[in-house]
Amino acid sequence: MGLVLGIDSSTTATKAVLVDPEGTVAGIGVAEYDVRLPHPLWSEQDPALWWTGTQAAIRSVLAVTGVPGSDIEAVGLTGQMHGAVLLDRSRAVIRPAILWNDQRTAAECDEIRERVGAARLVELTGNDAVTGLTAPKLLWVRRHEPEAWRRLAHVLLPKDYVRLCLTGDLAMDRADGSGTGLFDLAARRWSPEVLAALDLDPAWFPPTHEGPVVTGTISAAAAEATDLVAGTPVVAGGGDQAANAVGVGAVAEGTVALSLGTSGVIFATTDRPIHEAQGRVHAFCHAVPDRWHLMSVMLSAAGSLRWFRDALAPGEDFGALAAEAGAARAAADGLFFLPYLSGERSPHPDPLARGAFVGLTLQHDRRHLTRAVLEGVAFGLRDGLDLMLAAGMARPSEIRASGGGLASPLWRQILADILEADLVTTSTTEGAAFGAAVLAAVGRGWFRDVPAAAAALVRTTPAASPGPDRAAYAAAHAAYRELYPALAPVFHRASQGRRLEPRGASPARSC
């Protein structure tokens, strides 16, 4: 057998990962790009960047490894979830994509709850209407950009725009589709009831497929652009969190994954569709056929540490900052950090939530501030985990962890203490892209199903276990949970009078 290729179109870069039949990463190619922030709380990207990045990343990994495109037996796709990619009838991009971390759509979320019914919406889709999902972005464009709306003929998610460029086909996987806010969770298909209530044309939304299903093949044009071979199969794949779960082996009931990147995610696989009654954590389809998952998402996890470093310790090494924080006591001597720098999704679906340090004294210095950031992110993740436990998932004894934040031994220990579970890392750090490659391997027929592939390809290593500080953290978490309810009225008042006007933008290029 040859190799499979996983492609991850993330918010800041496209990564192409080659994987062999033993699960070894044979090579990695990366191409970086920027995000547009045209207004406060807005986040947009030109879809052409994903296609350009895909070409560069694939060519890079093939060149570095010396692997010919003919050795690639299948391609799997993953990427950032929830983005609204709008195309006209000719499949040209109408406007820059509105991304997962965009927060402009609070009014449209209220409209969705009114049209569908708040309880009915959660019952059908597994989710409340929150600003990060795709559905409110569509309603925002309808309200604010009528010219763009009149041209709309197709709605895609970011990785599925890359699929279009690679294969010429309009298709989507069911894990990513369920993250739009327009999916019938139990039925694993677009919800006719929700689409009708929101007056959205079903013809705009592509066919959906299970993660390992082949949706098309590399076109002649894409082969020329990437050095792949025309006719190479491309599987449906999954949104980045579902693909990451595949990549770390969280594919069966009871397995839990933690992703500590720009955002922070707790992911629990289930064998039936369950949801939290108020939609404060997400319930989506898994990239594994006939599996679902609960997912708690905080918007600024490792992103909080990056903000702190850039704002207060520019140029400082992250490892040095974390090592310095180790000199401060657990619970940062009474100092708390709220990590709501981009608003929040779980457990507080509030785009107006704000970050804060609470409890500062003259005795605190940078060591305490850094430790408070690390602990605040862990407390936020614990809030989401508690909601998932209340919804019906079993308490995990082990969590499969991935992401750049796990490089810090101190942060690993803080997470194990606060989440009260052993942390293990896996045999690859390329979680989502590796998971996309695993799905491609199943689609190509290397394995009978995704669990068999994960069992063969994913290996774990202990990273941290709960230690003596867990009792101190339990008490500190109780205090932490009181802070958002107390400060939310202040956050909301501070946001009054800030009006975000839409800004015209030139249509993005098409592939």
Q: From the DSSP assignment, how many helices (H) and strands (E) are in the chain?
A: 18, 24
Distances (CA, A) of 6 to 28, 137, 174, 385, 471: 10, 28, 18, 29, 42
**Active-site option among 8, 176, 240, 350:** 240
Determine contact, residues 377/355, Cβ cutoff 8 Å. no
In angstroms, the Cα distances linking 121 to 114, 117, 124, 190, 242 are: 10, 6, 5, 13, 22
Q: Scan for tokens 């060591």, then name that residue.
A: 367
Sign of the CA dihedral running 256, 259, 265, 269: negative
Sort 202 into a burial class: Cβ within 10 Å, 0-12 / 13-18 / 19+. Answer: exposed
Residues belonging to the chain: 511
- Distance in angstroms (rounded) separating the CA atoms of residues 90 and 448: 38
Measured CA to CA in angstroms, residue 471 lies from 85, 266, 419, 456 at distances of: 46, 22, 12, 38
Do residues 176 and 238 touch, judged by C-beta distance below 8 A? yes
| Cβ neighbours of residue 343 closer than 8 Å, sequence gap 6 or more | 41, 103, 131, 299, 350, 351, 352, 353
Dist. CA 148–CA 140, nearest whole Å: 11
Given a contact cutoff of 8 angstroms between Cβ atoms, the answer to whether 359 and 331 are in contact is no
3-state secondary structure of 466: coil
Using DSSP's 3-state secondary structure scheme, residue 92 falls into coil
Annotated catalytic residue 240: yes
* Number of Cβ atoms within 10 Å of the Cβ of 466: 18
- Side chain identity at residue 68, one-letter code: P
Nearest to 13 by CA among 158, 172, 131: 158
Q: Which residues are catalytic?
A: 240
